[in-house]
Structure 1
Amino acid sequence: MRRSSDFCKASLYTSCLMGEEIHAQLTAFLSRRPIGRVHSIFENGINLAMEDELIFVGTTKNGRVPFGIHMGQESVRRLRFYVRCNDEVVARTPDMLQFCHPQYPVTLDLSRATSFHYEIRAYHYSSFLDLFHVDTLMATCLTWGVPTGLDVEWNRFLANDYRPDDRQYATIQHAEQLLDALLSGEVRAIAAPLRYFLGRGPGLTPSGDDFLIGLLAVHRLTGAFHPAFLTILRHILETEAITTDVSKAYLLHALDGRFSDKVTRVLNAMVMRNVSYFQTRLLLLLQTGHSSGIDTVFGIANAIMALRRYKHVRTSCDCIGGQRHFAATPRSNL
């Protein structure tokens, strides 16, 4: 494995931290791309840039994330103390990361970390009738009450109580335009509303991007959207500087079917009959981050409401997103 030219210039004293959990695909990835840098540092962890891929190292406060390495709060505090942005990082072996701070080098030992992998179980879904908790989803969001990061209020959204002169009307309109295009197969109408949401809002993961994560999660479960959704979104992300590096990484993972455990468990619980389990998982997602969880649930809710409008299209032998598409019937209220 190749090392950087100044790898051995660090102090002989090295602090060692133990990783507790690691994404199942990450060890193989580190063996292929062993050299990177500290990309960003924040309260719950740090991001590493290993060439063109971001790796999160931190707590599980916001869930177990794709390409994540997780450990306790005290270990994360120590790591944040020792590292600086742009410090070099070298995978000495696939389960040993060296942070090359000139005075305070740190080793992250992954040899005893538990491997994790979460997947949305699409094989449990064959039609809209398999989504057992649609009403519970909407009722929980209504009770939750906290507006989305896009300033959409749940009570007005669920009651369809918006007028063209309302500040949030544009968000609702673009969401409906996007979902109608995805479900009716109007490919030329997909890109414009996608760009409306990409990068919209402040923070490392803007609210508009979290909304799209919710749509992608529903698509992963149902396969209901036109495949151009994935193609167009990937092309925009790979060719345009339209959102943050962190959010781009999460969206690309979602395009490949990788989501946090919190998102994955909500979607899997939708096709399980245990309503209390679903509600518990939904509440855990709603509590995630400042508004990331709420915005992701907003995407899930929009996608499921759209499926309800188009539910006549999907049967056990029809695939919206695949070979067959049908014109929509007139839209109906919830």
Structure 2
Amino acid sequence: MEITGVYAGKLVKEWQNKTGSVSLHSMFKHSFNLTDGHSLLHVGMLENNIVPFGLHVSQYHFHLLQHAIKKDQVKMKVSHGKLTIGSMVISLEQVKYYDPLKIEWQPFCSSTDTRFVCHLASTFNGKTGLDFTKELAGNAPYFDYCCSEKKEEVTRYFIHYIGRGLGLTPSGDDFTVGLLAVHHVSPFLSTVFLKGLADYLKEDVTTDVSKAYINAALSGYFSLQVDQVMTAFAYEEPERLHQAVRQLGEMGHTSGYDTLMGIVLGLQQVVRQNVIEGV
């Protein structure tokens, strides 16, 4: 049986040239992750989200795949551009790849922008997995180290945030993805931070799933819902922004709000840098 109507994140293209067996990495109610021993392939329902390394199918097809995987001895493999799970096949060459909009970002530095971002943060600070009160007040040196050119300081950021929190993607990791989303459209993170983060993730410092999201973000790839928030910010569309924030906030237990906090604090850093530079 060939499954059609599949959407995918851009990083799934890397699987087109892979050949070999695939195994189950982790199973959840609305998604599961496969691995070839080197990277993860997320499989979920289309109505939930589109992630950079994910395949997204209809609810009907997802339950068929999930049921097949739960059976003992189910054979899974990838070859000739196709993913096979039992008797079901997904052509990785025929899926519809999600291509995010290219954002034309305007300098973000006015007092109106600053007040709006601070107000937005106040609406969901209590919903995050970590307490970001000090970061919002500008009294968190570990956070400021994300802009440092000193290796020892950015390392302190990694130790403090990466892997910190509970769940499949710890809160500190989701927060970092939010920072990277802002950096992708308005660079503010130091080169030492970016290189150091990629190296730090090679160690056993957080979950495999979280590493996949952060590495994707380092390459400029984000979930559909993160892209929608950033696009609404860029084009200054309040109604669209509030809807995008609500949808991202509903993701996971606290993951969505942790990511939003990273976006908000990343925007605040951009504001500070632009004011200092007189942009």
Task: Decide: shared fold, TM above 0.5.
Answer: yes
Matched, 1:44 2:30: yes
The separation in 2 between residues aligned to 1:53 and 1:68, in whole angstroms, is: 11
The separation in 1 between residues aligned to 2:109 and 2:176, in whole angstroms, is: 23
Q: Alpha-carbon deviation of 1:216?
A: 0.9
1:102 aligned residue: none
Checking the alignment, whether the CA contact within 8 Å between 1:183 and 1:310 is kept in structure 2 is no
Change (3 A) 1:187 1:314: farther
Checking the alignment, whether the CA contact within 8 Å between 1:120 and 1:220 is kept in structure 2 is no
Match of 1:267 among 230, 242, 247: 230
Deviations 1:45-102 (A, max 9, x none): 11111231111111145421002110122221221111049955212331x3112xxx
Match of 1:205 among 148, 169, 178: 169
Amino acid at match of 2:273: Y
Q: Alpha-carbon deviation of 1:314?
A: 4.1
Matched, 1:246 2:227: no
Change (3 A) 1:34 1:25: farther
User: Between the two proteins, what is the percent identity of the paired residues?
Assistant: 27
Match of 2:90 among 109, 114, 119: 109
SS of equivalent to 2:49: coil
2:272 aligned residue: 309
Which ranges of structure 2 fall in alignment gaps of 5 or more residues?
none
Matched, 1:93 2:80: yes
SS of equivalent to 1:55: strand
Alignment of 1:112-151 (within 5 A): 112-118=94-100, 121=103, 124-125=104-105, 127-129=107-109, 133-144=113-124, 146-151=126-131
Q: Alpha-carbon deviation of 1:132?
A: 7.7
Change (3 A) 1:211 1:28: closer
Matched, 1:278 2:241: yes
Change (3 A) 1:219 1:314: farther
Change (3 A) 1:19 1:275: same
C-alpha RMSD of the superposition = 2.8
2:153 aligned residue: 189
2:6 aligned residue: 20
Q: Alpha-carbon deviation of 1:210?
A: 0.3
Change (3 A) 1:144 1:150: closer
The separation in 2 between residues aligned to 1:309 and 1:205, in whole angstroms, is: 29
The separation in 2 between residues aligned to 1:185 and 1:86, in whole angstroms, is: 51
Amino acid at match of 2:171: S
Deviations 1:290-309 (A, max 9, x none): 11100001111222223333
The separation in 2 between residues aligned to 1:314 and 1:125, in whole angstroms, is: 17
SS of equivalent to 2:169: coil
The separation in 2 between residues aligned to 1:283 and 1:223, in whole angstroms, is: 25
SS of equivalent to 2:274: coil
Aligned residues: 277
Deviations 1:140-163 (A, max 9, x none): 34234642111457xx875x4xxx
Amino acid at match of 2:149: G
SS of equivalent to 1:190: helix
Checking the alignment, whether the CA contact within 8 Å between 2:34 and 2:40 is kept in structure 1 is yes
The separation in 1 between residues aligned to 2:49 and 2:110, in whole angstroms, is: 26
Match of 1:219 among 183, 206, 209: 183
Checking the alignment, whether the CA contact within 8 Å between 2:178 and 2:261 is kept in structure 1 is yes
1:56 aligned residue: 42
Deviations 1:12-44 (A, max 9, x none): xxx554452123442453323453222111111
Checking the alignment, whether the CA contact within 8 Å between 2:146 and 2:157 is kept in structure 1 is no
In proportion to residue count, which structure has more helix?
A: 2
Which ranges of structure 1 fall in alignment gaps of 5 or more residues?
1-14, 100-104, 161-171, 317-334
SS of equivalent to 2:235: coil
Deviations 1:91-140 (A, max 9, x none): 2331x3112xxxxx23233365322122663xx23633389854334323
Checking the alignment, whether the CA contact within 8 Å between 2:46 and 2:59 is kept in structure 1 is no
Match of 2:256 among 283, 293, 300: 293
Checking the alignment, whether the CA contact within 8 Å between 1:210 and 1:295 is kept in structure 2 is yes
SS of equivalent to 1:284: helix
